[in-house]
Structures are given as structure tokens and as C-alpha cells.
């Protein structure tokens, strides 16, 4: 079997000031219409601010690795079957994706989690439209970037404690079969509907 997970932070109310982060998982082998009916709550955080992702996701990563290596047993027609489960996909918006990957947010110069294209400071920061394809990030290059970022953790200026947008290791690097880059989906709502489409409608 395989599964996808999604998580994001929401406010529990204007007066409470608390942040709520659920982790939901869906089974990919289910028919598309059935997936939303049988979502599983795999984790939940409620606190005064966003959670430390290294701490919040640690139990989830541990369970995911156990399921991918040892699997779980179930009975079918009197026969015991052991099935392994692999995490294939993470569904998050742009803001949550940066937090999970321990990367700079969308307004930074190296804000794209999929490539190394650097933004130009033109007031509101925008990506240039290039004639050549930008260098793509990979899981391996992200591991190397995290190592270099860790070496800069003692920089006096906090805006210098990164390497090409990566601020350090991500807890998701401990997942056995998950690709840090291709495993994430593109944020359609923020990148398209609230990004380019909104800009085109305003001018």
C-alpha cells in the first residue's frame, strides 16, 4: 500500500490566538472519491504558535518508517497477510511546505522549493521569466545544502544562516522512501490562483 499526508496550520479563533496543526493521511489505492471519506487523523498539535516541525513530526516519521519496513498484519479469508505501507506524497501549501522542509519562506530570494532560481529585488519580489530552464533541486542536493546551512548556524545575522534557501536539516530527511522534492505537490491555490492569476486580474 501507499499513502499521502497533508498538514497545515489554522487559527482556532480570533480571540484564542492558538494554532492548530492536524496531520491527515489518505490511502492512495482507494478510489479517488473514497479517499476523502476515509481520511485518517495521524497527528494533532494545538498551541500558542506554530509547532517546531522537528518535534511535531518526529512520531509521524517514526511510524511511517515502521510501516514501510515491518508493515502491519491483517486477516483475509482466514489467512494472515503482512502489508507494507510507503509514503509517496505530501500535500501542503507553500507556507507549510517551507516549514516542513526547513527552508526560507516564499518571499525570500531562494524561495522556490523545486529549483534554484533566485528572485530579483524589484520592490515586490518576482521570479524572472528565463529563456533557459533553472537548475532543479533534488533530494540529494537538498541534503548537501542542509549540511552547508548547518555549518552557518552560528552566523551573527539570522538572514545569513541558510544555504540557497535551506536553513538546515528537515525531519522529513529521516523518511526511508520519501523524496524531499518530487514528493511534494505544487501549491495550486497560492502559486496560481492567488499568484499569477490575481496579478493578471489586477492589471
Note down pLDDT in tens along the chain; length 203 residues.
999 999 999 887 777 778 899 999 999 999 998 998 999 999 999 998 899 999 999 999 999 999 999 999 999 999 999 999 999 999 999 889 999 999 998 778 888 899 998 877 666 555 555 667 889 999 999 999 999 999 988 888 877 889 999 999 999 999 999 999 999 998 877 666 666 556 656 65
Question: 27 — phi, psi (to 5°)?
Answer: -85, 120
What does pTM read for this prediction? Answer: 0.84
- Report DSSP letters for 71-94, one per residue: -EEEEETTEEEEE--EEEEEE--H
Half-sphere exposure of 54 (CA within 13 A, CB side): 6
Burial of 132 (0-12, 13-18, 19+ CB in 10 A): exposed
Question: 194 — phi, psi (to 5°)?
Answer: -100, 5
Amino acid at each position: 500500500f501507499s499513502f499521502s499526508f497533508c498538514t497545515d496550520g489554522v487559527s482556532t479563533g480570533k480571540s484564542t490566538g492558538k494554532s492548530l496543526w492536524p496531520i491527515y493521511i489518505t490511502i492512495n489505492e482507494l478510489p479517488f472519491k473514497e479517499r476523502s471519506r476515509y481520511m485518517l487523523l495521524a497527528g494533532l498539535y494545538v498551541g500558542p504558535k506554530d509547532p517546531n516541525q522537528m518535534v511535531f513530526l518526529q512520531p509521524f516519521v517514526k511510524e511511517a518508517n515502521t510501516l514501510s519496513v515491518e508493515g502491519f498484519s491483517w486477516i483475509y479469508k482466514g489467512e494472515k497477510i503482512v502489508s507494507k505501507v510507503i509514503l509517496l506524497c505530501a500535500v501542503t501549501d507553500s507556507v507549510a511546505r517551507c516549514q516542513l522542509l526547513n527552508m526560507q519562506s516564499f518571499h525570500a530570494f531562494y524561495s522556490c522549493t523545486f529549483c534554484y532560481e533566485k528572485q530579483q529585488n524589484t520592490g515586490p519580489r518576482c521570479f524572472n521569466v528565463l529563456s533557459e530552464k533553472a537548475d532543479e533541486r533534488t533530494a540529494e542536493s537538498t541534503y548537501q545544502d542542509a549540511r552547508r546551512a548547518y555549518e552557518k548556524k552560528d552566523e551573527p545575522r539570522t538572514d545569513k544562516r541558510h544555504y540557497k534557501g535551506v536553513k538546515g536539516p528537515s525531519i522529513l530527511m529521516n523518511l526511508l522512501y520519501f523524496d524531499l522534492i518530487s514528493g511534494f505537490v505544487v501549491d495550486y491555490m497560492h502559486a496560481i490562483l492567488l499568484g499569477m492569476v490575481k496579478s493578471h486580474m489586477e492589471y
